[in-house]
A = this chain, B = another copy of it.
Amino acid sequence: MTNSFRQKAARQVIPQGAGDTSGQSNGLRAIEEIATVVRLKRGDKIDLGRDRAKLVYAVRSGFLILQADLSTERHVAIALYSPGNIVRPAELPPVRSLAALATAPCQILRMGEVAFDRLCEQSAEVRLYCARETALQSACDKSHIVLLAGLSGEERVASFFVEMAYRMGRRHGSIVTVEIPFSRSDIASFLALNPDTLSRIFSRLKSLGLVKTAGRRSIEILDLQGLAKMFPADLARDFDLDINRPPLGLLADEKQ
């Protein structure tokens, strides 16, 4: 498989996650015209509960976790939003306490649903962008269901790290460094593990020489292929991981 095919496949499914929208903002650019910018700091929430106002949001920069609170103690992470993602009320489950939690400083574009729909009608580019976004999110949600329903804890963690590497990794030789915009608890709740268990799995991966920590929100992936071998190849997803070959074509090389 050629590298260009790999890139194409990846672009098809992975919302760009490098922290800004420069690569794919054609759709967002038009949205920025009609939207209000909301700045969030880590820990801030946007309420998306059932009784929410009908607002549409688009992520301009930063990362959020869509979470539902089933009770005071039970918080479930549903999805991750990264730059370029669009959040529309109709696509959210009708749960009372639903919120998007900023895990890092974010810039969010906010607009009324009516205005957004009008924009979609006017601009074919926005309409297409938005339809694609919706489809991608749906595919991601379904992949996430597969992860939750079909993978063990260790496999989930491995798959998460491989995905992060491909979305946001930076290559230094054979090592991939990832600045992870999530706390361990964020990751744990996204993978439906508890933080203790995640930490244990993480330690195991470290002792196997697959990963290394470098500060709290940064990890070094020492053996991406080894990680990728830990979960079913069929879930290598968009990446088209050829497990016997260095699969780093997608990653920005430090030296570039």
Residues of A within 8 A of B (CB): 9, 12-13, 66, 68-71, 74, 76-79, 88, 90-97, 132, 134-146, 148-151, 189, 192, 232, 234-235, 237-238
Indicate whether A79 sits within 8 Å of B150 (C-beta atoms), given known contacts A232-B74, A234-B96, A238-B94: no
Residues of B within 8 A of A237 (CB): 93-95
Residue in B9, B71, B79, B235 whose CB lies within 8 Å of A232: B71
Complex contact B142–A79 (CB within 8 A): yes
- Find out whether the CB atom of B138 lies under 8 angstroms from the CB atom of A95: no
CA distance in complex: A97, B136 (Å): 18
Contacts of A137 in B (CB 8 A): 138
Question: Which chain B residue has the least Cβ–Cβ distance from A149?
Answer: B192
**Cβ contacts under 8 Å, A143 to chain B:** 93, 95
With A148-B145, A150-B76 known to touch, is A138 a contact of B70 (CB < 8 Å)? no
> Is B232 within 8 A of A70, CB to CB?
yes
Task: Find chain B residues with CB under 8 A from A150 CB.
Answer: 68, 70, 74, 76, 192
Contact B68 A146 (CB under 8 A): yes
Residues of B within 8 A of A136 (CB): 90
Q: Evaluate contact between B88 and A235: CB separation under 8 angstroms.
A: no
Judging by beta carbons under 8 Å apart, are B95 and A234 in contact?
yes
Chain B residues with CB under 8 A of A12: 94
Could you jot down 26 A-B contacts, CB within 8 Å? A68-B146, A68-B150, A68-B234, A70-B146, A70-B151, A70-B235, A71-B232, A71-B234, A74-B150, A74-B232, A76-B149, A76-B150, A78-B149, A91-B134, A91-B138, A91-B142, A93-B143, A94-B237, A95-B146, A95-B234, A134-B134, A134-B138, A137-B138, A138-B138, A141-B141, A141-B145
